[in-house]
């Protein structure tokens, strides 16, 4: 198949592009390198050294003989995106080209607005481009389990049967997003569902859990292909942060009581799920939802696993409970269904089998690159930074000048 990977220079996108290229598909990457720019903005860097995209793709071609084309541009620019879709003529468009960090979206008004515009407008542009230039294209959109929140009932895969006042219907599962980022993903889901209904597009929404690991079979071929390992408070996941904290002797920073529970999956399962979605496309007019994770853990359970793994490496790992900077339940019920991808043939990799190899050993290897200043959280959900402080001060000065007029 011809497959376009939007956001193919990022964490999930890079692993996916290589995986599908290795299986003989004609892969194109669409990217504007924003993920690298956000590192520059925040003054952070991934624990693993990431090569320029052109160098990564040159090494990939030398190793495999496979060429991955690159189109550089922004999905919020419709003229660019339409031209790209017209040139690529993809059978499948895999959409990773979004700002994917909840903390980033909660820094201040500017970052919240950027996240929503980038994500919602970019996805809307893609829907229009598919309708205009490639209406049979199957859209695979990376969603998030964070759309659902933490309801006190089982989370179904996208839809729930409701009985009310003697009548019943199958409706989208209620959404309780926990950040401006997660809200943007809910808006995406609504827009995709709507366009499938009115235009007959075909789409798969992959509500993904927290991804861990850097290694896939393809990435492991050469160090130049290494993937990201983010551990900072903005883009780093809790498991990555714990592993880095363990190897540098910093107590594991457990937010609040540590009962926050989420779904998790290995990066190898991410690319496996996406391949299954490609090979088993949605029907025209169908908007289907898969919950994409393999296991669920609480923060405290993860901390305990990292402690045990650390002991095997001769590390003494301690825990430190910090006030939770997020607005979230610190103890809650959590049970989400995730059988549809299993039914298609997914064979999961379990964290208990790969924690040392896929995370702790990589953290040990690159611990000289750790910036300890990035460990503690600075973004507070309840008190976003004031990005209008200077403007507000100016307005107050002007008001004072007119006192008594």
Which DSSP string do the residues of 215-244 spell out, in sequence order?
--TTGGG-GGGPPP---STTT--HHHHHHH
Residue-wise pLDDT tens digits, 44-61: 999 999 999 999 999 999
Identify which of 145, 142, 129 has the alpha carbon closest to the alpha carbon of residue 201: 129
Quick one: pLDDT at residue 276? 98
246 in a structural domain: yes
The pLDDT of residue 338 is above 50: yes
Range of the domain at 114: 2-374
Query: DSSP code of 108?
Result: B
pLDDT band at 405 (very low <50, low <70, confident <90, very high): very low
The interaxial angle of helices 180-199 and 122-133, nearest 10 deg, is 20
The answer to whether residues 224 and 231 touch, using CB atoms and an 8 Å cutoff, is no
370 in a structural domain: yes
255 in a structural domain: yes
85 vs 320: CA distance, rounded Å: 49
Q: Measuring CA to CA, how many Å separate 189 from each of 161, 204, 206, 279?
A: 18, 10, 10, 22
Would you state the structure tokens that stand for residue 88, as one six-digit string? 């690529």
Quick one: pLDDT at residue 403? 38
Q: What's the rounded mean pLDDT across residues 316-322? A: 97
Catalytic residue (choose from 144, 150, 195, 214) = 144
The answer to whether residues 55 and 63 touch, using CB atoms and an 8 Å cutoff, is no
Residue 301, SS3 per DSSP: helix
pLDDT band at 358 (very low <50, low <70, confident <90, very high): confident
Tally of domains within the chain: 1
Catalytic residue (choose from 11, 181, 231, 334) = 181
Q: What's the rounded mean pLDDT across residues 114-130? A: 98
12 in a structural domain: yes
214 in a structural domain: yes
Residue-wise pLDDT tens digits, 58-111: 999 999 999 999 999 999 999 999 999 999 999 999 999 999 999 999 999 999
Which burial class, exposed, middle or buried, applies to 163 when counting CB atoms under 10 A from its CB (0-12, 13-18, 19+)? exposed
336 vs 158: CA distance, rounded Å: 11
Catalytic residue (choose from 76, 115, 150, 185) = 185
Which DSSP string do the residues of 156-199 spell out, in sequence order?
-SSEEEEEETTEEEEEEPP----SHHHHHHHHHHHHHHHHHHHH
* Prediction pTM value: 0.95
Residue-wise pLDDT tens digits, 378-392: 999 999 998 775 444
Residue-wise pLDDT tens digits, 127-153: 999 999 999 999 999 999 999 999 999
Residue-wise pLDDT tens digits, 167-200: 999 999 999 999 999 999 999 999 999 999 999 9
Annotation says 33 is catalytic: no
Domain containing residue 224: CATH number: 3.40.50.720
Residue 63, SS3 per DSSP: helix
250 in a structural domain: yes
The answer to whether residues 299 and 324 touch, using CB atoms and an 8 Å cutoff, is no
Annotation says 144 is catalytic: yes
Annotation says 253 is catalytic: no
Could you identify the residue written with the tokens 């939802």? 289
Q: Measuring CA to CA, how many Å separate 399 from each of 154, 386, 388, 395?
A: 54, 20, 16, 6
The pLDDT of residue 125 is above 80: yes
Quick one: pLDDT at residue 391? 42
Q: What's the rounded mean pLDDT across residues 11-33? A: 98
The pLDDT of residue 404 is above 70: no
Could you identify the residue written with the tokens 């551990």? 231
Mean pLDDT of all residues in the chain? 95
Category of 325 on φ-ψ map: left (φ > 0), alpha (ψ -120 to 50) or beta: alpha
222 in a structural domain: yes
Query: DSSP code of 339?
Result: -
Could you identify the residue written with the tokens 């989370």? 155
327 in a structural domain: yes
Residue-wise pLDDT tens digits, 225-239: 999 999 999 999 999
Identify which of 239, 244, 212, 214 has the alpha carbon closest to the alpha carbon of residue 226: 214
Would you state the structure tokens that stand for residue 194, as one six-digit string? 């709507």
Q: What's the rounded mean pLDDT across residues 321-334? A: 97
Identify which of 371, 246, 387 has the alpha carbon closest to the alpha carbon of residue 317: 246
3 vs 20: CA distance, rounded Å: 8
Beta-carbon contacts of 169 under 8 Å, excluding residues fewer than 6 positions away, are 161, 162
Report percent pLDDT > 90 for the chain. Answer: 94
Identify which of 330, 348, 179 has the alpha carbon closest to the alpha carbon of residue 254: 330
231 vs 149: CA distance, rounded Å: 23
């Amino acid at each position: 198949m011809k497959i376009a990977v939007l956001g193919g220079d990022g964490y999930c996108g890079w692993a996916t592009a290589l995986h599908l290229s290795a299986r003989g598909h004609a892969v194109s990457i669409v990217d504007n390198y924003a993920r690298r720019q956000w590192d520059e903005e925040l003054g952070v860097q991934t624990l693993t050294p990431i090569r320029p995209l052109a160098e990564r793709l040159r090494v990939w071609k030398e190793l495999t003989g496979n060429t991955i084309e690159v189109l550089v541009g922004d999905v919020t620019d419709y003229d660019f995106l339409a031209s790209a879709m017209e040139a690529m003529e993809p059978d499948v468009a895999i959409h990773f080209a979004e700002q994917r960090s909840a903390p980033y979206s909660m820094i201040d008004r500017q970052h919240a607005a950027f996240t929503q515009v980038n994500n919602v407008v970019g996805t809307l542009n893609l829907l229009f481009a598919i309708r205009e230039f490639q209406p049979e294209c199957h859209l695979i959109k990376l969603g998030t389990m964070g759309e659902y929140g933490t309801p006190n009932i089982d989370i179904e895969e996208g839809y729930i049967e409701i009985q009310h006042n003697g009548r019943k219907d199958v409706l989208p599962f209620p959404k309780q997003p926990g950040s401006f980022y997660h809200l943007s993903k809910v808006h995406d889901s609504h827009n995709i569902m709507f366009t499938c209904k009115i235009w007959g597009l075909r789409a798969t929404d992959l509500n993904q859990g927290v991804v861990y690991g850097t290694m896939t079979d393809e990435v492991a071929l050469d160090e130049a292909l290494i993937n990201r390992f983010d551990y900072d408070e903005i883009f780093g996941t809790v498991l990555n942060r714990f592993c880095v904290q363990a190897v540098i002797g910093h107590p594991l920073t457990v937010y609040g009581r540590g009962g926050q529970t989420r779904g998790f999956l290995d990066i190898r399962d991410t690319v496996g799920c996406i391949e299954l979605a490609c090979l088993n496309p949605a029907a025209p007019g169908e908007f289907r939802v898969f919950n994409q994770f393999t296991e669920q853990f609480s923060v405290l359970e993860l901390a305990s696993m990292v402690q045990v793994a650390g002991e095997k490496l001769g590390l003494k790992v301690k825990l430190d409970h910090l006030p939770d900077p997020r607005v979230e339940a610190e103890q809650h019920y959590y049970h989400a269904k995730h059988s549809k991808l299993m039914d298609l043939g997914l064979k999961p990799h379990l964290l208990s089998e790969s924690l040392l190899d896929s995370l702790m050993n990589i953290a040990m290897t690159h611990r000289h690159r750790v910036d300890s200043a990035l460990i503690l959280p600075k973004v507070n959900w309840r008190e976003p930074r004031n990005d209008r402080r200077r403007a507000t001060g100016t307005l107050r000065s002007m008001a004072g000048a007119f006192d008594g007029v």
